Amino acid sequence: MNKSISIALFLILFCNTSGWSQKTTQTVVTAKDTVKPIDIDPLTPAKAAFYSAVIPGLGQAYNKRYWKIPLVYGAIGTSLYFYIDSNKKYHQFRDAYKRRLEGYNDDDFTYLDDSRLIAAQKFYQRNRDYSTLFIVGFYVLNIIDANVDAALKQFNVDERLSIRPTLYQNNLNYKTNIGVSLTYDF
């Protein structure tokens, strides 16, 4: 028994000698990202949309896309001009037709009969309604453009991700082929 205790004690001491050996330190290597981080503000698209809703073009100014402001005002202004013009002409033809129904025949449209006055009213009324839809459509498009532009402004696009058209020569018939290459470098 004395022999088995001495063997067990020898194995315990022999197996634990690595615990008495020299201590090693582990160095942790961390890789730093070389791409500069972009601070993402989730409220930026909402702010741009709100500014564009309050004053058309203000969201584009907030996004620093100043060249879009004349486009916004040009689209809304042109639609507004056609609305005002069509509304004025609609009221002229409508008033002339009402005066004809009352028995007066001294309006500016004496060369037109009653059916032409009604047709002109319908024509300008339809154009006025379309102009209203265009005004509302361009106003909403202004808000959507400001929102999307602010959201895409935070999107990180660098040279590591690219799509480029390429021209390469076919080895069989030596004709030039066109292709697109999608590149992503790590």
With a cut of 50, list the residues of the chain below it in pLDDT: none
For residue 166 the two structure tokens come to 């390429």
User: What confidence score (pLDDT) does residue 164 get?
Assistant: 74
Q: Which pLDDT score, from 0 to 100, does residue 15 have?
A: 59
Q: What is the structure's pLDDT at 41?
A: 74
pLDDT of residue 73: 96
Which pLDDT score is estimated for 173?
A: 85
Angle between helices 69-102 and 114-153 (to 10 degrees): 160
The confidence score (pLDDT) of residue 169 equals: 81
Structure token digits, residue 136: 């509302």
What SS3 string covers the chain?
A: CHHHHHHHHHHHHHHHHHHHCCCCCCCCCCCCCCCCCCCCCCCHHHHHHHHHHHCCCHHHHHCCCHHHHHHHHHHHHHHHHHHHHHHHHHHHHHHHHHHHHHCCCCCCCCCCCHHHHHHHHHHHHHHHHHHHHHHHHHHHHHHHHHHHHHHHHCCCCCCCEEEEEEEEECCCCCCEEEEEEEEECC
The pLDDT value recorded for residue 78 is 97
Q: What is the pLDDT of residues 43-92, one digit of tens each?
A: 789 999 999 999 999 999 999 999 999 999 999 999 999 999 999 999 99
Residue 36 CB coordination number (10 Å): 7
Residues 106/61, Cβ–Cβ less than 8 Å: no
Burial of 60 (0-12, 13-18, 19+ CB in 10 A): buried
Contact assessment for residue 160 and residue 46, using Cβ atoms and an 8 Å cutoff: no
Measured distance CA(163)–CA(148) in Å, rounded: 22
Q: For residue 155, what pLDDT is reported? A: 76
Give me the pLDDT at residue 166, please: 77
